[in-house]
Amino acid sequence: MSRYRLYPSPAQRVALLGHCAHARFVWNLGLEQRLMWRPGREPTPGYFEQKRQLTEARAAELWLGTGSATVQQEALGDLDRAWRNFFAGTHRRPTWRKQGVHEGFRITGRSNWDVRCLNRRWGAVKVPKAGWVRFRWSRAVPDAKSYRVTLDRAGRWHVAFTAIPKPILAPGRGEVVGIDRGIAVSLALSNGEMYQVPDRSARVTRLQRRLSRAGRGSNRRKQAKMRVARTLARDADRRKDWAEKASTDVARRFDVIRIEGLQIANMTRSAKGTLAEPGRNVRQKAGLNRGILRSGWGIFAQRLEDKAPGRVEKVPPAYTSQRCSACGIVDGKSRESQADFRCRSCGFACNADVNAAINIAAGHAVTARGGLPQSGRPVNREPQLLLYRMS
């Protein structure tokens, strides 16, 4: 999906906001109908029945009839697709769309829209009932069948053309690489290379403090809230850009890519607990969760799988950071610090993240504490018993 920055005029901005409101209303209304089903009741209306009811609603309600029928029908299509994905087990259950959070709509069918290049820097996309809206021509527009217009919390309009990019071909040299993901070092490769996600902007903390001091409902609070949103949006854009470039670079250089199979959703779960059983170290865990989410683990892995399909293997991460990549001894005390690894058995010293990446590249995953699937022998963590393994 190729996304471009939109620059609508004031009149076009009003029309686009109206399309977002209509799409959000139709989505929520259709979702309410789907959620009304209970065992023993009649089936809820499907996509085609809801489209028929939409025609009647547009004729009865003037404010809905003045909007674009294409936008409203596509909202029902998105809802039906979301339900099918939910029942297929690939996505979560559809939820309500809220104003200021879910602002966007989709247009399909080349008869409903068109794109033209104005010059080498600007282009224009035709939006129903809004006319030609300018966007920044940062790269060639793909041959897409639909596009989606969105408004983020920073007040920026974007248009995304739906097109599946071609996968990156393997170089054919037979090279295998392992990737260890961390917070201090975002990505560590088994060949010693490291990738670091751009740091969070220093302005965010200062702007958030200013926001906390502003009175609720005041204009100053609205301005401070918008500044925070714009700064966070720029940080997210830099993180996405980094993930795109890093995944493209790795996919072009290696044939087989092995990466940690991390459950990020479980790792970033809150430790607050309940009133009856409150959690421990809640603030520390919250800080760790923010660090993990800012590292871009998930978006990097997803884009890597999209660009190198069939070449990405996920390795269980158990004890990969405690295993010596030289002798195979598993010893938690060998990792002296976050960055230093020194095996107490053979004396092998290496960067801790690179050592873990080498284990991942070899596919070495410790199945249980004290055992390796390669040897089947007991692996002792005390260095003085190394002679037992060598005999």
147 contact partners, CB below 8 Å, separation of at least 6: 106, 107, 113, 125, 159, 160, 161, 162
pLDDT of residue 155: 87
Pairing of strands 312-315, 256-260: parallel
Sign of CA dihedral 298, 290, 205, 151: positive
The beta strands (E) that lie in 89-192 are given as 103-108, 115-117, 122-127, 131-136, 146-151, 157-161, 176-181, 187-189
pLDDT (average), residues 172-190: 88
Residue 100 forms part of a structural domain: yes
**Whether residue 61 sits in one domain with residue 17:** yes
For 50-86, the DSSP string reads: HHHHHHHHHHH-HHHHTS-HHHHHHHHHHHHHHHHHH
Residue 270: its pLDDT value, please? Answer: 80
pLDDT at 63 over 70: yes
Q: Residue 169 falls within a domain, yes or no?
A: no
- Of 282, 315, 348, which closes a domain? 315
CA distance 134 to 360: 47
Mean pLDDT along residues 87-103 = 90
Out of 257-266, 288-297, 364-373, least confident range? 364-373
Biggest CA pair distance of the chain? 87
Q: Contact 321/260 with Cβ under 8 angstroms? A: no
* Predicted local confidence at residue 369, as pLDDT: 42
Mean pLDDT of 259-287: 79
Evaluate the CA torsion angle 76, 81, 82, 86 in order and state its sign: positive
Considering the domain architecture, whether residues 85 and 224 belong to the same structural domain is answered as: no
Q: What is the pLDDT of residues 105-155, one digit of tens each?
A: 999 877 778 899 999 899 999 999 999 999 999 888 888 888 999 998 888
Catalytic residues: 180, 260, 353
pLDDT for res 347: 85
Q: What does the pLDDT read at residue 55?
A: 92
Residue 97 has pLDDT above 50, yes or no: yes
Q: What is the pTM of this model?
A: 0.76
> 287 and 348 share a domain?
no
Confidence of residue 1 (pLDDT cuts 50, 70, 90): low
For the ranges 74-83, 120-129, 359-368, which has the lowest average pLDDT? 359-368
Number of domains in the chain: 3
Chain centroid, CA 70 distance in Å:
28
Pair 29, 137 in one domain? yes
Q: Is 121 domain-assigned?
A: yes
Tell me: do 24 and 154 sit in the same domain: yes
User: How far from chain centre, in Å, is Cα 45?
Assistant: 32
Q: Give the pLDDT band of residue 377 (cuts 50, 70, 90).
A: very low
Does residue 121 sit in helix, strand or coil? coil
Select from 78, 92, 81 the least CA-distant residue to 22. Answer: 78
| Segment of 9-23, 185-199, 319-333 carrying the highest mean pLDDT | 9-23
Whether residues 260 and 146 fall in one domain: no
Give the CA distances from residue 56 to residues 20, 50, 91, in Å, rounded to whole numbers and listed in that order.
20, 10, 31
Q: Output the six-digit token pair for 341.
A: 């690894």
pLDDT at 382: 40
| Residue 314 and residue 363 in contact, taking contact as beta carbons nearer than 8 Å | no
pLDDT at 364: 60
Residues 6+ apart with CB under 8 A from 173: 255
pLDDT above 60: residue 384: no
Is residue 345 situated within a structural domain? yes
- Let me know if residue 241 belongs to a domain: yes
pLDDT of residue 332: 83
pLDDT, mean over the chain: 85
pLDDT, mean of residues 267-295: 79
Instruction: Give the model's pLDDT for residue 13.
Output: 95
Q: Do residues 273 and 224 both lie within one domain?
A: yes
Place of tokens 């071609």: 166
Looking at the structure, tell me whether residues 15 and 99 fall in a common domain. yes
Statement: residue 379 has pLDDT above 50: no
CB-based contact 167:311 (threshold 8 Å): no
For residue 133, give the 3-state DSSP assignment: strand
Which residue has better confidence, 312 or 266? Answer: 312
Domain that holds residue 92: 2-161
Statement to judge: residues 100 and 129 lie in one domain: yes
Sign of the alpha-carbon torsion through 292, 296, 297, 299: positive
Q: What percent of the chain has pLDDT over 90?
A: 34
What is the C-alpha to C-alpha distance for residues 379 and 369, in angstroms, rounded to an integer?
A: 9
Residues 53, 77 share a domain: yes
Question: For the chain, what is the total number of helices (H) and then of strands (E)?
Answer: 11, 14
**Cα–Cα distance measured from residue 17 to residue 149, given in angstroms and rounded to the nearest whole number:** 10
Calculate mean pLDDT across residues 366-372. Answer: 42
Which residue type, as a one-letter code, is found at position 305?
E
Whether residue 257 is found in the same domain as residue 137 = no
| Lowest-pLDDT range of 27-31, 76-80, 229-233, 293-297 | 293-297
Please work out, in degrees rounded to the nearest 5, the angle formed at the alpha carbon of residue 20 by the alpha carbons of 73 and 12. 110
pLDDT score for 76: 94
252 assigned to some structural domain: yes
Structural domain contains residue 209 = yes
pLDDT given at position 94 = 93
Q: Could you report the per-residue pLDDT of 328-339, keeping only the tens digit for each?
A: 888 888 888 888
Q: Which of 285, 315, 345 is the last residue of a domain?
A: 315
Q: Are 258 and 381 within one domain?
A: no
From 161, 188, 217, the end of a domain falls on 161
Determine the pLDDT at residue 70.
92
Q: Is residue 325 part of a domain?
A: no
